[in-house]
Amino acid sequence: MKGELLEIMKITDILNSKKVTLSYEVFPPKAGTPFEPVINAVDKLCSDKPDFMSVTYGAGGGTSSNTVKIASHVQNDLGVTALAHLTCLSSTREQVSSVIDEMKANGIENILALRGDIPKDGNLPVGEHYTYAYELVKEIKSRGDFCIGGACYPEGHTECAHQDEDIKNLKLKVDSGVDFLTTQMFFDNNVLYNFLYKIREQGITVPVIAGIMPVTNGKQIERICQLSGTYLPTRFKAIVDKFGDNPEAMKQAGIAYATEQIIDLVANGVKGIHIYTMNKPDIADSIKRNLSYIIGDNQ
């Protein structure tokens, strides 16, 4: 694909220019693991021409240069707009600042500004650091013409006892300079519709991209949902109970469930769909093919 470079755009311009957008996500190699399998997955995912590609940031920031390298490859070699994630809690302000410089030097214009999870051992870096994502948003905003995304939680963030409070904190983050939001995964679309209603009522008007997780491993998702507090609808639980131990059946059912969720979202006016593709091009490709007349060139 080298040579077919596309114009790199701000995510907000992409969202404004299309009826519905479809984006993918990759995670860079962990420290000490090889680059090649990730690059292969990224190349295959990009050959699907997603509207943009998210590149996650390793918790703790220890693999920050891998995020920048992969995001730069996505954008500069493959011609797909990259959204580089950046967390701040486990790094000093100085470290965060140098990653922003590195992103800028690599032509990355879209950053998902995140706090990151609180480390299990509770140890935070020695030196000045940011406490919440809204502070990072302000810092990125002051550093140049970036398009800044933020995370949001349709079921509330696990650390926040009341959703109203979480939404109040979200408003502060958006007012600090967030241009768009991407949601945590959810398996019941009504959860998203209720959330959208509540945030719009509180004056949060930026675009919200719906994060969809195709579930292809039953056991893993139950654990992830317990940790993230994501609601598992009975219909979804039945699928995991029945097919969770049969990887091929679970994969097929997970693709079908994600496809159905996306069709309902698009039918109800959601314009941004983000698939947590988790370095799995075959799953992304199957979902995209299922949606060929619903999202994309045929819509």
39 vs 59, which CB is nearer to ligand FAD?
A: 59
Residue 64 found at the interface with ligand FAD (CB under 6 A): no
Active site residue 4: no
Residue 159 found at the interface with ligand FAD (CB under 6 A): yes
CB contact at 8 A, 67 and 83 = no
Residue 29 found at the interface with ligand FAD (CB under 6 A): no
Taking the complex as a whole, the smallest distance from the CB of residue 38 to ligand FAD amounts, in Å, to 14
Q: Which of 8, 9, 39, 160 binds ligand FAD (CB under 6 A)?
A: 160
Question: Residue 219, SS3?
Answer: helix
Q: Which of 24, 52, 57, 243 binds ligand FAD (CB under 6 A)?
A: 57
Residue 180 found at the interface with ligand FAD (CB under 6 A): no
Pick the catalytic residue: 25, 102, 109, 155?
Answer: 25
Residue 133 found at the interface with ligand FAD (CB under 6 A): yes
Lookup: tokens for 250: 């679970």
Taking the complex as a whole, the smallest distance from the CB of residue 57 to ligand FAD amounts, in Å, to 4
Residue 85 found at the interface with ligand FAD (CB under 6 A): yes
Taking the complex as a whole, the smallest distance from the CB of residue 197 to ligand FAD amounts, in Å, to 19
Number of residues that bind ligand FAD (CB under 6 A): 24
Minimal CA–CA distance to 182: which of 5, 54, 10? 54
Minimal CA–CA distance to 91: which of 124, 117, 68? 124
60 vs 256, which CB is nearer to ligand FAD?
A: 60
Residue 116 found at the interface with ligand FAD (CB under 6 A): yes
Q: What angle do CA 243, 246, 251 make, to 5 degrees?
A: 75
Which residue has 């919200």 as its token pair? 208
Residue 69 found at the interface with ligand FAD (CB under 6 A): no
Q: Which of 132, 138, 217, 290 binds ligand FAD (CB under 6 A)?
A: 132
3-state SS, 227-286, equals HHCCCCCHHHHHHHHHHCCCHHHHHHHHHHHHHHHHHHHHHCCCCEEEECCCCCHHHHHH
Minimal CA–CA distance to 283: which of 220, 224, 221, 213? 213
Residue 283 found at the interface with ligand FAD (CB under 6 A): no
Distance in angstroms (rounded) separating the CA atoms of residues 213 and 192:
14
Burial 216-251 (b: 16+ CB within 10 A, else e): bbbeebbeebeeeebebeeebeebbeebbeeeeebb
Question: What residues line the site for ligand FAD (CB under 6 A)?
Answer: 56-57, 59, 85, 87, 112, 114-117, 132-134, 151, 157, 159-160, 166, 169, 172-173, 182, 184, 211
